Amino acid sequence: MKSIKILFTLISAFIFFGCSQDENLTPDQAPVESQINSLFSFTDFTKNGVVDIAKNEDGSVNIIVELSQPASEHYEVKLYEGMLDADLEVQSILDLSPIESGNTISSTDVSNTYSYEELMSANIHLRVTQNNDHDVKSATDLGANAFKTSEIKTYPIIRNGDEVGTSAFIPRENGPMMVGVSLYYKDFEYGYEIDIYAGTALEGNNENVLIDLIDINERTSKSNSYTNLDEGYALPIDIEDGYLRIDRVPTHQGEEYYSKTDIGGNELTGRSISYDFDRPGSEDRINGWVKLEERVNGNTLFSYQMTGEVIPSSTYAVNLNDNNYILHGENVASLGKFPANFEGVTYADVKGLKDGSAISYDQIIEGTYSVRMNKSNDPDYNGKEVYAVSDIGQAALTDTMYEADITFTHPDFMNENMNVKIYKRLNGFTLLEVEGSDYTNDNIFHDLELYTGKDHESQSSSKVAYMISIDRYYHGYRETSPYEDPNNKEITFDEMMEQGGHYRLLDSDGEEIGYAVLPN
């Protein structure tokens, strides 16, 4: 029994003296103050741990590092002077407790070196390294340079549709933002020039450098770049109109650039809206879509594609026009050109109109506009010849529609047919669509009008609105946007439906040749 007591005493002494103050993994008192900082992977900038600077009740200070995943082998943990950047030659100023293979935590009492207040204002950063100071697994800024993790933005680096790297824009609480760029598949023989240029990735050029970033040199295995920006760019959104461009050097044959990435204000918010893009009356053969996407700065990325049986065989200009396509307002902005026989997607940036005024995504979708693919390659063309159209914003149609078939009553037209559809637009106005047999010639001129009541023979019915003319230009299909009553006053879709009960198809003498009762 005595020998067991001696053994217990020896084990207790070994535990007490074998664990130094610097390796105290579990402080025995709750901290009275604490600052937690995220650790970041030095390669792809993902969060992979935390650093907790804790002040205890007795005034002692601990730096506790906890990794998200166990160490694969022995990791060194050290403090370094200054802000985190690409300089791997910087000398460490304090060694902290290492993290052994299979473990995740390092806890070090630094009370003899720093007070809690000194750490909060210090110009230092922390690195977790494997093998040597150059093989950095995790890192973060501390003290005055602590990162503002809630404001971090990351952007994938895309090349030919594949993600080939990542970039991170990491603001600090009291200092300049850091930009990190990491390439997944760096070619040893090439260097990579990295800069931020003014404009968008779509329309910006390589002439107007906004911010110089540190390049990745050729003939080195290093695939990362770190740059601390000046104080004018404290947050990603402060880069209001810019894109990240990477050029491979020496230039690869036939390569204009390695990658371009919209950042900051040019990032897409995720808000978007799509519309049909087709030729009225030929929607089954000539059709496609138009899409609007909002950028963080409020500007708009347009895209469009023709997906129908027939693709334009000529290059046509595409424009944004004021008002719906039938009322055909002013050509207010160019959306680029649709290339002949092109089956892909065409893109265009819109942040202003031709008159120099700015226009936002919200202003477009809250306004009344149309997209027109003109039968001309002149971006200033605003004639009537169009290949495809799309009413967008408040000119777009709602789901409200009423349909009626004309019953022909005149003996000369008993074998004809005509279908009338009336649609409500988002702005409350009307689209009328007439489709049927092509029975007109130079001597036939009919008017379709809307009347009150349901009785097409009633003499007491009054005209609510003139709807459309069926004349020699009618070839079985026509659209219009009726918006005036008989007194030339504006009339909405709802007002037409409240007042109107039936259509009358009248000849040039005002005689009825057909009618249809509205189902509303």
pLDDT, tens digit (0-9, with 9 covering 90-100), for 450-494? 999 999 999 999 999 999 999 988 999 999 999 999 999 999 999
* pLDDT tens profile 11-35: 333 333 333 334 444 445 678 899 9
Per the structure, the count of domains in the chain is 4
What's the CA gap between 340 and 473, in Å, rounded? Answer: 29
* pLDDT tens profile 115-166: 999 999 999 999 999 977 678 999 999 999 999 999 999 999 999 999 999 9
Q: How far, in Å, are 113, 138, 291 from residue 135 at the CA level?
A: 26, 9, 46
Q: Name the DSSP letter for residue 173.
A: S
Looking at the structure, tell me whether residues 446 and 430 fall in a common domain: yes
Residue 7 domain flag = no
What's the CA gap between 225 and 248, in Å, rounded? Answer: 14
Last residue of a domain, one of 367, 393, 419: 393
Last residue of a domain, one of 327, 361, 393: 393
What's the CA gap between 150 and 491, in Å, rounded? Answer: 51
DSSP of 29-71: S-EEEEEEEEEEETTT--EEEEEEEEEETTS-EEEEEEESS--
Residue 30 domain flag = yes
- Note down the domain range covering 37: 20-143
pLDDT at 29: 61
* pLDDT tens profile 346-403: 999 999 999 999 999 999 999 999 999 999 999 999 999 999 999 999 999 999 999 9
Q: What is the CATH number of the domain that holds 308?
A: 2.60.40.200
- Dihedral pair phi/psi, residue 99, rounded to 5°: -115, 120
Residue 6 domain flag = no
Using the structure block, give the residue that is written with the tokens 């997906």: 307
CA angle 473, 434, 468 (to 5 degrees): 65
pLDDT at 9: 38
Residue 52 domain flag = yes
- Dihedral pair phi/psi, residue 400, rounded to 5°: -85, 120
Looking at the structure, tell me whether residues 235 and 290 fall in a common domain: no
Looking at the structure, tell me whether residues 100 and 190 fall in a common domain: no
Q: How far, in Å, are 82, 107, 230, 342 from residue 62 at the CA level?
A: 20, 7, 32, 64
Looking at the structure, tell me whether residues 326 and 254 fall in a common domain: no
Looking at the structure, tell me whether residues 358 and 406 fall in a common domain: no
Looking at the structure, tell me whether residues 104 and 190 fall in a common domain: no
Residue 2 domain flag = no
Looking at the structure, tell me whether residues 308 and 354 fall in a common domain: yes
What's the CA gap between 169 and 184, in Å, rounded? Answer: 18
Looking at the structure, tell me whether residues 319 and 375 fall in a common domain: yes
What's the CA gap between 339 and 346, in Å, rounded? Answer: 9
Residue 225 domain flag = yes
pTM: 0.86
Looking at the structure, tell me whether residues 425 and 360 fall in a common domain: no
- Side-chain-side CA neighbours of residue 152 (13 Å): 18
Residue 191 domain flag = yes
Residue 273 scores a pLDDT above 90: yes
DSSP of 249-266: ESPPTT-S-SEEEEEGGG
Last residue of a domain, one of 359, 393, 427: 393
Rg (CA), the chain: 35
Please, which residues bridge with residue 463 across strands?
A: 451
Q: What is the CATH number of the domain that holds 464?
A: 2.60.40
Nearest to 55 by CA among 109, 106, 95, 105: 109
Looking at the structure, tell me whether residues 275 and 310 fall in a common domain: yes
Residue 10 domain flag = no
